Structure 1
């Protein structure tokens, strides 16, 4: 059926089963229309298109009843509704309307602010500042502000006087007191299992050419237990993180279903297939790949772990003295993190918005951090970071991510603080890696830095120093955030983590080939396959079907139809491909050094 009323808006109701236009027409501002479900059709998508961005409108789906709420101040009272500019879409199910029919109402709002338009400015005339007979003048407020400023000044003076009167002498007993600790309370990193009487760490770790045998001297059982803590810690973190997240997103979905407010969640409304209480089941289902491939990776690691333990029980010389020392705790943690990424990404897509975006990215930070730690552990098994230190640093990253989402938008002070911390942390970490942990942060640090520049850069710049300087050139691009200040801070921080991982990955492969080692066929196939899949995955990621950086109405302008099986959209394909790409990246880490399984450790270089 076709009906021409007034140009401006186009309404179409599409069957979700056969995907054809049931009817379409133009309508004016204050008209509403009735739609009856045909036999055999349980779900339809109501689409509204406008030729112009503004005026801002509200599309509402209401049950058949009187009166019809078709005014700006009451259109949100019943049914489902959403704001829109040029494009709007609502998926309607027959089960939600007992009469098997509903009204479609479109109302133009009085102001465009709800859709991201400019707020109208109504300046007051000078004579209107004080109404006739009104004694509420402005000076009492100024007086109150002066009193507040005076109070703050008094507090500052009091604090200063307290600081200057603090005693600046310490007793000799405090200075000379030795730290008393029981061995049971000392961490494994504090109690060094390397016998310094046989080989001093300051000599071994500062040789010009280090081999893996120099950094694989600690007891294997102690190190295995140390790296197993990575797995148990991330499993504990996953439980305590996931349960509140699941409860919160269920609450979000309940609020959407009860209120009918479609502006709470940023779906791709042109490809949102509901199931039960879930509004967009396809975006949740597409995350299943992360969970399944994470579980598959855990099984592969378990198989390798069992084979390696059997070789140790047979006193196999290759397992005892050859190849990269095999510690599987970090691999177990990586597989668990991949599974949790799928679960939390599914939770985020229950109701995607800016308040819960960190659910989708938290374990991406974990994965990037664990992969970098695994790369470093391969050649530095004795001096890798403990699980407690690593997860504390990752927690700090997630903390900054939340702060950036809440306070970072347009906040220059936040970006200055973050950029300074980022650059300092990069410099400290670079120094830690370059000196293999054998350095001190004290008053002589500046003198030693100048001496280092003179000896290692001006006189004879060594290979590792070149690499450190090259990588730090990219790290100093942290000033980009300070200059541009992107609105999506969480994605910006995640991009930093991924770029660091890619740089370290490229560095590892280059140094491996430079050291005369080779990459086996299986690992090479994994590298090439993973690179291709990552390329296609990023293409679909940057399609941008919705964005919580804009208003809900503006976000719907980016919505697109399904492209796979009339069920999945571009972002779902990103989920499929990125899960495969991350699984392939894990396989690269697992198989990259298989060519060294028969090489003595004193012939494997450290880099």
Structure 2
């Protein structure tokens, strides 16, 4: 400023300085120095009367400052290398005028701190909040000497000609260093931020800094900063360096020694000027841009405690525990397979001669139990309703009323065609479909008429498609979450990811390794299920090669393509759930749920395929429908919050889809969706319900579909009325409710048809039900929620409950992966009792 004023004054009077710069050598330099010295002396003498005072700590100075004087307070204190004391400057302005603030400048070694009083802090939309009471803690530069006397000065100045009274007090902060496992309490406000120092003790490499308060509001910010000057401790600059997160009642940050070369750090707590960042109410917008808003009392009592985090032994124990749990399922599977193989070997030796298949012995396998009226009706009607053209077709090997010597010939002829269209385009077979599928009672042989090789290829497409989808879906997801984690590590913004910060154990670049590790069960159990299915597939193919009559003509037709797809989906669910938990937030929640929709859809398709192998949906249609579900999931997450139009459109589509699917299931696909569909619906209602008052032709199917429509219409009404924020979970609840309803219907109809459930399947059902119950309990604990602000989400954070390493959500991962694996086993084994039952005696429902 002195140089600038000198230049201006000399420039107005003469062109001396300009010529001065043009003169060469020492003369120009001497002339410039003389003019600057004289001009600077005149400028200082005209503007300020400087008063310097030797000041002391813990003394309140009540002075007055005007534009004509400037007061400098000189302080000194002894700094010890082994002891850290904080120094705090507190200022009060007694004048009510805010037009000419007072400027306070604190000059100290390696740092300069300046602030004005009243302190003007800005909020959202540039709202201005004045504070007349300001307190700041001075930065403490490190010293290498054992003891050193340091000086600092507080300069007070203003441009107010009338003058302003103020109170100045500089005091020592005795408890400036935080102690491990000891709670420390203090009060902070927007104009009086607080920070304290923590030094890593020997043998501790990682600590968790936990900040708590009994007050939800005002909203505050917790920051971890390195020991350096300046310390950023105001609302408008606290996010410049270090790690930080907003908080209401609770906050926690895990700090590692390797990130701080000085083996120490500052814990900074800043109260924000407004509460919107923590989900608080939005203040009114000022009428004038320069209008000042009274912030009121925004003081907040805060407790800080620093606790050591877990050591490497706990990491190892957690990983071994996780591996041990799921490897035990591999061992149990091997044990069950060994016992089962021994039992089958003893049975085969007892019933059949050595090296003789049932077809070679000429014995027809008998049912181990007697069926009820459904099986009798199915068997009787199947022989009466089938036309000559249908019975003469070689592909109709689903009927047992044939000579055994024709089994081998019919199988060889059935393999002659490998294209499904070669079968479906025959006119007589199309007419046969209408006759067979509209019978009042159907048996599996009626819907297992297509070539097995054709169907196997059709259902294998499920596996290859989901494997392709998984690769193309997972690669961008992995890239995105790595970017998220990098942004968190670089910026230090802990509000990006919704962790359970009370139990988030970092490893390398990952902030919450335990949440990622706990997803290992989905991958390992999915792989185990694929191995179990592969073993069954190999055994079945070997039976077909040797023309085993049970494999050819008995039991539910074995198609393993959907099982392979289910196992792959379970593995992908583990991978994508792990990716989601790298940085969980509302923008990537669909990563965690997309393959949950896939699993629910595949399970329903498999249940339907068991009794309807010929008319199950193709892989392309099924995945297209699931893609539509995921599309609506994304739309719901982005636009669904409180959007009435979206909820109306979705509810209408949900109800219409339910009606169309109900019609498809009720008529076994023997209906057309064209311009005359409404006319035919009205005609059927008139003839069957009004004119004749006849009941439904297919009572069991009608019961299921009525219950399904009631459930889905109720869920649609709930969504339209309540409009839940978590649309993805709402959509997943719809899928799970429909799956459970269909599964319960299947079990009830199976028992009602006179069938039984074998011991292994019954154990799987009971075990899975119990595990699902415990899993859902831990799921609903809700340790975090991206539906709210990050600060509100942290209110639900809790400490680890298992091995000091896993939290409630990790246990949900463990139990849900086991429960899904058990559910898949139930689907795989629940119809094992029918392996020796003729297909024309197995009821379709």
Q: TM-score, normalised by structure 2?
A: 0.60
Partner residue of 2:575 out of 329, 335, 343: 343
Superimposed CA distance per residue, residues 9-53 of structure 1 (whole angstroms, 9 cap, x where no aligned partner)? xxx9999xx9999xxxxxxxxx21110111111110000011101
CA 1:136/1:205 → structure 2, altered by over 3 Å: closer, same or farther? closer
Q: Contact 2:219 / 2:277 at 8 angstroms: preserved in 1?
A: yes
Give the CA deviation at 1:80: 0.2
CA 1:222/1:538 → structure 2, altered by over 3 Å: closer, same or farther? same
| Match status 1:135 vs 2:298 | no
Cα separation, 1, equivalents of 2:750 and 2:528: 28
CA 1:14/1:528 → structure 2, altered by over 3 Å: closer, same or farther? farther
Bigger-Rg structure (1/2): 2
Match of 1:333 in 2: 565
Superimposed CA distance per residue, residues 352-399 of structure 1 (whole angstroms, 9 cap, x where no aligned partner)? 000000000000000000000000100111111100000000000000
CA 1:197/1:574 → structure 2, altered by over 3 Å: closer, same or farther? closer
**Per the alignment, in what secondary structure is the counterpart of residue 588 of structure 2?**
helix
Give the CA deviation at 1:449: 2.6
CA 1:94/1:186 → structure 2, altered by over 3 Å: closer, same or farther? same
Give the CA deviation at 1:128: 10
CA 1:453/1:407 → structure 2, altered by over 3 Å: closer, same or farther? same
Q: Contact 1:457 / 1:465 at 8 angstroms: preserved in 2?
A: no
CA 1:259/1:591 → structure 2, altered by over 3 Å: closer, same or farther? same
CA 1:46/1:455 → structure 2, altered by over 3 Å: closer, same or farther? farther
Superimposed CA distance per residue, residues 440-459 of structure 1 (whole angstroms, 9 cap, x where no aligned partner)? 12343234334544666679
Give the CA deviation at 1:341: 0.1
Give the CA deviation at 1:479: 1.5
CA 1:136/1:345 → structure 2, altered by over 3 Å: closer, same or farther? closer
Cα separation, 2, equivalents of 1:400 and 1:175: 50
Give the CA deviation at 1:124: 2.2
Give the CA deviation at 1:93: 0.5
Q: Contact 2:440 / 2:697 at 8 angstroms: preserved in 1?
A: no
**Per the alignment, in what secondary structure is the counterpart of residue 411 of structure 2?**
coil
Give the CA deviation at 1:514: 1.1
**Per the alignment, in what secondary structure is the counterpart of residue 126 of structure 1?**
coil
| Greater relative contact order (Cα < 8 A, sep 6+) | 1
Cα separation, 2, equivalents of 1:537 and 1:554: 25
RMSD of aligned C-alpha atoms?
12.0
Give the CA deviation at 1:519: 0.8
**Per the alignment, in what secondary structure is the counterpart of residue 48 of structure 1?**
strand
Cα separation, 1, equivalents of 2:207 and 2:469: 41
Cα separation, 1, equivalents of 2:692 and 2:750: 22
Cα separation, 1, equivalents of 2:419 and 2:678: 31
Match of 1:96 in 2: 259
Structure number with higher strand proportion: 2
Structure 1 residue runs of 4 or more that deviate by more than 3 Å after TM superposition: 5-8, 12-15, 18-21, 125-129, 134-137, 169-191, 450-467
Q: Contact 2:415 / 2:451 at 8 angstroms: preserved in 1?
A: no
Give the CA deviation at 1:186: 13
Cα separation, 2, equivalents of 1:97 and 1:221: 65
Cα separation, 1, equivalents of 2:253 and 2:291: 45
Give the CA deviation at 1:200: 1.4
Give the CA deviation at 1:196: 2.3
**Per the alignment, in what secondary structure is the counterpart of residue 390 of structure 2?**
coil
**Per the alignment, in what secondary structure is the counterpart of residue 399 of structure 1?**
helix
Superimposed CA distance per residue, residues 252-286 of structure 1 (whole angstroms, 9 cap, x where no aligned partner)? 00000000000000000000000000000000000
**Per the alignment, in what secondary structure is the counterpart of residue 72 of structure 1?**
coil
Range with bigger deviation, 437-446 or 454-463: 454-463
Q: Contact 2:497 / 2:583 at 8 angstroms: preserved in 1?
A: yes
Q: Contact 2:444 / 2:842 at 8 angstroms: preserved in 1?
A: yes
Q: Contact 1:13 / 1:45 at 8 angstroms: preserved in 2?
A: no
Cα separation, 1, equivalents of 2:679 and 2:277: 58
* Number of corresponding residues: 554
Q: Contact 2:424 / 2:430 at 8 angstroms: preserved in 1?
A: no
Q: Contact 2:414 / 2:451 at 8 angstroms: preserved in 1?
A: no
Cα separation, 2, equivalents of 1:553 and 1:417: 33
**Per the alignment, in what secondary structure is the counterpart of residue 58 of structure 1?**
strand
CA 1:46/1:460 → structure 2, altered by over 3 Å: closer, same or farther? farther
**Per the alignment, in what secondary structure is the counterpart of residue 231 of structure 2?**
coil
Cα separation, 2, equivalents of 1:542 and 1:428: 33
Q: Contact 1:62 / 1:78 at 8 angstroms: preserved in 2?
A: yes
Q: Contact 1:45 / 1:90 at 8 angstroms: preserved in 2?
A: yes
Q: Contact 2:225 / 2:266 at 8 angstroms: preserved in 1?
A: yes
**Per the alignment, in what secondary structure is the counterpart of residue 47 of structure 1?**
strand
Gaps of 5+ in 1: 22-30, 138-168
Match of 1:164 in 2: none
